[in-house]
Amino acid sequence: MISELYPVNNEIRRAQLLDGLWRFRFDPRGEGEGEAWAEKGLPDPISMPVPGSFADLFTEAWQRDYCGDFWYETDVYLQELRPGQRVFIRFGSVTHRCQVYLNGRKAGEHEGGFLPVAVEVTELARVGRNRLTVRANNELNETSIPCGAVRTAADGSRRAQGYFDFFNYAGIHRSVWLVQLPEQAIQDYSVTCRLEADEAEIRYETDAEGDGSIRVELRDREGALVASGEGRQGSLRVRNPHLWQVRNAYLYTLTVCLTREGRTLDRYDAPLGIRTVAIEGQRILLNGQPVYLKGFGKHEDAEILGRGFHWAVAKRDFECMKWIGANCFRTSHYPYAEEWYQMADQEGFLIIDEAPGVGLMRSFANFAAAGAGKSNGFFGDCPDVELLQRNHRAAVEEMIRRDKNHPSVIAWSIFNEAETITQAAEDYFAPLFETARRLDPQHRPVTGVLEKTSSPDRCRCWPMMDFICLNRYYGWYISGGDLQEARRQFEEEMDQWAEKAPGVPFVFTEFGTDTLDSLHKLPSVMWSQEYQQEYMEMHFSVFDRYPFIQGELAWNFADFQTGQGIMRVNGNKKGLFSRNRQPKEAAWAFRRRWMEK
Ligand code: EVA
């Protein structure tokens, strides 16, 4: 078994960051495997930063739009290998799939571009220099998660085209670690909290190799021991606990120790927030108190970096979100780098954690089809719906395994804007919702995000959801430029939902208008800063009319890169912040509202 716990350093565990300038090579004809590039070394490589997307580093279109295999290579130094020690390579993600080799021999492979890839290399590694090689691939099809297609041009060049509205960035997007673990290691742990009058009960479960004993300790911010327990599972009681609250996070440190005959075999320390999440009637409760979600759908997206993680971008984004008064974001449309969740844990932000279940609707302009409620069937005529579902299920499982202990994560989203109106869709999703419910020890709410076609009278999947997420574009894709008519249609739909799903909380996970930084116009027109503001104000007043609306996550936090097309001006401009993270005018309207709400 391979531990996927986030790498840490202590007196037993060693984690060496392998980020930096790696060697790289495109492989448009898929020759690397046959020519044994992993064994012989990449021929004529160029340099490539890790982490990062390759697309926006180049000046030639074919490189930006490259679709197919591409290879990374670097040297890894192992200082010592103690007897019994095990060695792993862990990538935060490789988009969309990869095979990993050490010293020319295959160590493992992974499908899916947004979750960790961990491979064991104990047998392949040697003390001194090792060559680490990754063969990656960024093609999309109707069994990959997310879905899309590859188009071949007359000259044989290929392009990936997602059934989604964001650029198909690819590469080694997140940090890479060489991890050395003891022979018998702590594999995993989970915690759940229960609050009583002035006490919290934290149930824990650990998974460790061998027959050693487990001791668990909980320390407060000052380092004082507040509770401890013995055994692989058990419970800790904390009197007068400091709760992890929205925008007021208190983090304890949980230490899991594996010992035998007084000797420490392994140790893992991690932050722990004491909090509960529940749905009660039409409300979302955090620590038993109703919480109204304010924030954004985001993307991992920035100039030059593409989808590559950088702490500076995360820091700036959290500062902007704090400035505007937000308390929540959705990881649209895929699980983000783990560092986002670490920061959210510290900052007291709530996360709707979304699986990469996007593009489950056959359209290259899916946003237009979805926005206008004109999507078509999908699951009924997929080439291999079982394989698609297997890949989707694996992503849900890996996401929950990875993120289950973050106090910031308050819900799982299984999909964004999938087809949900057929029996085939119902059959497809029911087991995925069941998987999420079974795997999460905290039993967080499970949801999915519905586009316009998933209307109250047609959607067959909303009953699976603990709260219903809606993406709606009244005043943009529908009745664009006529906010009065847009409002009428919007309220008409909300009245239908009120009747159809009484007692269920709703969260708006998308609403927005493309808005150019440079465009001002009175009276307002679509694309102007004034229109974005008026559109948002219309939405605020509709949200306030329906008490079952328990959250508003605007689309999008910032402008972001998409593929090219007549509806996108060098990307999607629905940000409340520019791609450079400067506020548009409507951001102030949000700030005024959210600081009060
Ligand atoms: C949009 N609409 O049109 C957004 C997309 C997003 O970027 C959607 O969920 O319905 C999608 O990905 O701007």
Contact present, 97 and 112 (Cβ < 8 Å): yes
Rounded average pLDDT over 145-173: 95
Give the orientation angle of helix 586-596 with respect to helix 311-324, to 10 degrees.
70
Rounded average pLDDT over 301-324: 98
Share of the chain above pLDDT 70, in %: 100
Atom of ligand 1 nearest to the CA of 371: 10
Question: Is 338's C-beta closer than 6 angstroms to any atom of ligand 1?
Answer: no
Q: What is the dihedral of CA 479, 484, 488, 491, to 10 degrees?
A: 100
Distance in angstroms between the alpha carbons of the first and the last residue of the chain: 47
Atom of ligand 1 nearest to the CA of 451: 10
Q: What is the dihedral of CA 315, 320, 324, 329, to 10 degrees?
A: -60
Rounded average pLDDT over 533-546: 98
Same fold yes or no, 14-182 and 186-275: no
Dihedrals φ, ψ of 32, to 5°? -55, -40
What does the mean pLDDT of the chain come to? 97
pLDDT band at 375 (very low <50, low <70, confident <90, very high): confident
* Ligand 1 atom 2: residue of nearest CA: 367
Distance 287 CA to ligand 1 centre (A): 32
Contact present, 466 and 511 (Cβ < 8 Å): no
Task: List alpha helices for 325-380, DSSP H.
Answer: 338-347, 366-372
**Separation between Cα atoms, residue 238 and residue 215, nearest integer Å:** 16
Residue with tokens 């799903």: 501
* Ligand 1 atom 11: residue of nearest CA: 367
pLDDT band at 372 (very low <50, low <70, confident <90, very high): confident
pLDDT of 1 reads 62
**Separation between Cα atoms, residue 99 and residue 121, nearest integer Å:** 13
Question: Is 354's C-beta closer than 6 angstroms to any atom of ligand 1?
Answer: no
pLDDT band at 367 (very low <50, low <70, confident <90, very high): confident
Residue 398 pLDDT > 90: yes
* Ligand 1 atom 4: residue of nearest CA: 367
Question: How many CA within 13 A on the CB side of residue 293?
Answer: 33
pLDDT in tens, 123-138: 999 999 999 999 999 9
CATH superfamily of 186-275: Immunoglobulins (2.60.40.10)
**Separation between Cα atoms, residue 486 and residue 397, nearest integer Å:** 39
Question: Is 572's C-beta closer than 6 angstroms to any atom of ligand 1?
Answer: yes
pLDDT of 340 reads 98
The beta strands (E) that lie in 123-212 are given as: 128-137, 148-152, 158-162, 176-181, 186-195, 199-208
Distance 351 CA to ligand 1 centre (A): 19
All structural domains of the chain with their residue ranges: 14-182, 186-275, 278-596
Residue with tokens 């609050």: 195
pLDDT of 363 reads 79
Q: What is the pTM assigned to this prediction?
A: 0.98
* Ligand 1 atom 8: residue of nearest CA: 367
Token pair for 549 = 């609306």
Residue 21 pLDDT > 80: yes
**Separation between Cα atoms, residue 67 and residue 567, nearest integer Å:** 23
Share of the chain above pLDDT 90, in %: 95
Question: Is 451's C-beta closer than 6 angstroms to any atom of ligand 1?
Answer: yes
Residue 75 pLDDT > 70: yes
Please state, in angstroms and as integers, the Cα–Cα distance from residue 488 to each residue in 100, 484, 506, following that order.
55, 6, 19
What positions carry a catalytic annotation?
A: 417, 510
**Separation between Cα atoms, residue 354 and residue 333, nearest integer Å:** 6
Residue 66 pLDDT > 70: yes
Token pair for 591 = 């700030």
Question: Is 555's C-beta closer than 6 angstroms to any atom of ligand 1?
Answer: yes
- Between 192-201, 371-380, 437-446, the lowest mean confidence (pLDDT) is in 371-380
> Among the CATH numbers 2.60.120.260, 3.40.50.880, 1.10.760.10, 2.60.40.1250, which is that of 14-182?
2.60.120.260
Give the orientation angle of helix 311-324 with respect to helix 338-347, to 10 degrees.
40
Residue whose C-alpha is closest to residue 543's, from 582, 593, 485, 476? 593
Residue 369 pLDDT > 80: no
Q: Are strands 128-137 and 176-181 parallel, antiparallel or unpaired?
A: unpaired
**Separation between Cα atoms, residue 244 and residue 229, nearest integer Å:** 21
Fold exhibited by the domain 278-596: TIM Barrel (3.20.20)
Task: Classify residue 110 as left (phi > 0), alpha (psi -120 to 50) or beta.
Answer: beta
Residue 502 pLDDT > 90: yes
**Separation between Cα atoms, residue 261 and residue 2, nearest integer Å:** 25
pLDDT in tens, 259-269: 999 999 999 99
Tell whether omega for the bond before 173 is within 30 degrees of 0, i.e. cis: no
DSSP at 168: -
**Separation between Cα atoms, residue 429 and residue 410, nearest integer Å:** 20
pLDDT of 373 reads 75
